[in-house]
Amino acid sequence: MNKGINLLGRKIQTPVTKAVERLKLLRVIAISLLFIISVSSIVLFLLIALSPLPSLQKKEQSVLKVLSAEHSDIAKLEITKERLGISSAIIDKRNDFSKSVEKIISKMPTGLSISAVKMKNKDVSIIVSGESLSSLENFIDTLTKASDEKKDFTSVTLQEFEALAGQTVFTVKLNLAML
């Protein structure tokens, strides 16, 4: 019985009522999107605040300041390190003349003295003086035996022999080719 009585009239949907319903739907969607965005931004803020990222950024800035201040010192250290490496390579390539001199001195009898030594690559030139011809002869014989056996020298060459008049000092200049 109530179905037939309509005091307000029939509900006819007009385009205005459809637009109002769509507007309500868009408002609900906008409010829900606003809520989702605000919740996600709060969560993101909390993640950033609680993560170690800000402290890492501060550490990075402090390290960069230290490195920029110490840059010249680091460059100087690297140059020094490189020069030390080059120096050690040169020292390794250099001939060890102390061993050569020790070999010559070990073969020298008493009463003789070395007055000059010149070294170039593997060649050694020495000037030996003494008051006894027999000491000089023993020294030269010892050096020639060593060169014949190829122990320390490959060759011994007598360059000069000098006897000063009125004095008993004899001088011998020898050239030695070292092994």
How many angstroms separate the first and last alpha carbons of the chain? 136
Whether the per-residue pLDDT at 149 is higher than 60: the answer is: yes
At residue 13, the pLDDT reads 56
**What is the spatial distance between Cα 63 and Cα 79, in angstroms, rounded to a whole number?**
22
In the block, residue with structure tokens 């109002």: 20
Query: What predicted TM-score, i.e. pTM, was given to this entire model?
Result: 0.48
At residue 165, the pLDDT reads 72
Domains annotated on the chain, with CATH: 97-178 (3.30.1360.100)
166: left (phi over 0), alpha (psi -120 to 50) or beta: left
Whether the per-residue pLDDT at 172 is higher than 60: the answer is: yes
More confident residue, 176 or 99: 176
Q: What is the mean pLDDT of the chain?
A: 83
Orientation of helix 53-93 relative to helix 15-50, angle to 10°: 50
At residue 7, the pLDDT reads 60
> Side chain identity at 59, as an amino acid letter?
K
pLDDT 10s digits, 50-109: 888 778 888 888 888 887 777 787 778 888 998 998 888 888 887 677 777 888 888 888
DSSP letters of 13-66? --HHHHHHHHHHHHHHHHHHHHHHHHHHHHHHHHHHHHSSHHHHHHHHHHHHHH
Q: Provide the total of helices (H) and of strands (E) in the chain, helices listed first.
A: 4, 4
**What is the spatial distance between Cα 60 and Cα 52, in angstroms, rounded to a whole number?**
12
At residue 3, the pLDDT reads 58
pLDDT 10s digits, 24-58: 999 999 999 999 999 999 999 998 888 887 788 88
Whether the per-residue pLDDT at 6 is higher than 60: the answer is: no
